[in-house]
Amino acid sequence: GAGVSQSPSNKVTEKGKDVELRCDPISGHTALYWYRQSLGQGLEFLIYFQGNSAPDKSGLPSDRFSAERTGGSVSTLTIQRTQQEDSAVYLCASSLVASPDTQYFGPGTRLTVL
């Protein structure tokens, strides 16, 4: 398919463990975004990548969260020493250019921290 893909679709982990979530954006899209959707809440912006520019990390909730984007394509969101409050759906979106108008979302990864 040509859409944004994310893996795994579901992840259950124990408190204190590290997790990695992967996002494959639409081919050719230069901008990539990570959001978190907690139960009963809207999407919360986490981080934004645009080409080779420094990422906007202003939405990361703590230093346990980090993300990288290799080769301007695939992105990995890493959460270290997971806590129960990290349980949420993590959504990735990509767009051709840096515009809010053309973000295409993946299906998300549902993270459950026991």
Using CB under 8 A as the criterion, which residues of the chain lie in contact with another protein when the complex forms?
4, 9, 31, 35, 40-45, 48, 50, 56, 91, 93, 98-101, 103-108
For residue 62, list its beta bridge partners. none
From start to end of the chain, where are the E strands?
Answer: 5-7, 10-13, 19-24, 31-37, 43-50, 65-69, 75-79, 88-95, 104-105, 109-113
Q: Minimum Å distance from CB 69 to another protein?
A: 15
For residue 50, list its beta bridge partners. 31
Q: Minimum Å distance from CB 62 to another protein?
A: 18
Closer CB to another protein, 39 or 70, in the complex: 39
Closer CB to another protein, 28 or 100, in the complex: 100
* Neighbouring C-beta atoms of residue 16, cutoff 10 Å: 10
Q: Minimum Å distance from CB 81 to another protein?
A: 26
Closer CB to another protein, 12 or 17, in the complex: 12
